[in-house]
Structure 1
């Protein structure tokens, strides 16, 4: 996936590994710089139906499994601004709306 962010010096690529899936309920994945093993951070979309035409979505961006102390020392939190998280939810909404 093509990405961009100052924390990695501008433009870069990632590989994404699905870590959880339950149709219509959950999608979780870990991301890593292309060609490397995921260092532990994970994105999770948790979906809960609210009637026949609405879904509540909770987005979690979790660094709790990262053990690389050198990596953690190089970054600050929040790493991803709220606007980017909102954009991710907007991308999900666009994808399912067709």
Structure 2
């Protein structure tokens, strides 16, 4: 990684799944715990699909080093251009109900390589994080394998999703 982008990290993976399917998985907050490579993401408090910029979706989280252990984040959709780009800022809801964002962004860029293959790039960008937050949070707050692990998880989920409509149709309870 060159000196020029010290404020972001990214990983890219080609998956044998159409971009629409990959995007649908990313736009489904109930899939995020399974995509996450850290084990921090638990369950979505707002499971509705992500459909517009500005949409807020909260996630229950767990982190051993967090003061509370269990906590909740409020994510705000920052970019949404199906089936090419989706990204969100992560923040929290303060006691007064206002949302506060730390300045870091998760972003997925999808580039179709063909009708049934997609190149997915996951970027974690902390360039907008103010200095006072950097004083007590180290960026990036995860190890170097996290992004590629997440992309592998995403590929597995999207692959399963790709095969699921037939299964749903044929197995009525």
- Say which of 89, 109, 130 aligns to 1:30: 89
Matched, 1:2 2:60: yes
- Say which of 138, 148, 156 aligns to 1:86: 148
Count of paired positions: 97
- Say which of 42, 50, 53 aligns to 2:105: 42
3-state secondary structure, aligned to 2:103: coil
Matched, 1:72 2:134: yes
3-state secondary structure, aligned to 2:114: coil
Alpha-carbon RMSD across the aligned residues, in angstroms, is 2.0
Would you say the 8 A contact 2:102–2:133 is kept in 1? no
TM-score scaled by length of structure 1? 0.81
Alpha-carbon distance in structure 2 between the residues aligned to 1:5 and 1:57: 27
Cα deviation for residue 3 of structure 1 reads 1.5
Aligned to 1:59: 122
TM-score scaled by length of structure 2? 0.49
Would you say the 8 A contact 1:7–1:75 is kept in 2? no
Aligned to 1:14: 73
Deviations 1:32-87 (A, max 9, x none): 124432121100000000111111111110110112x2210112233122343234
Alpha-carbon distance in structure 2 between the residues aligned to 1:85 and 1:29: 15
Higher normalized strand content (fraction of residues)? 1
**Higher RCO by CA contacts (8 Å cutoff, separation 6 or greater):** 2
Structure 2: tracts of 5 or more residues without a match:
1-58, 162-173
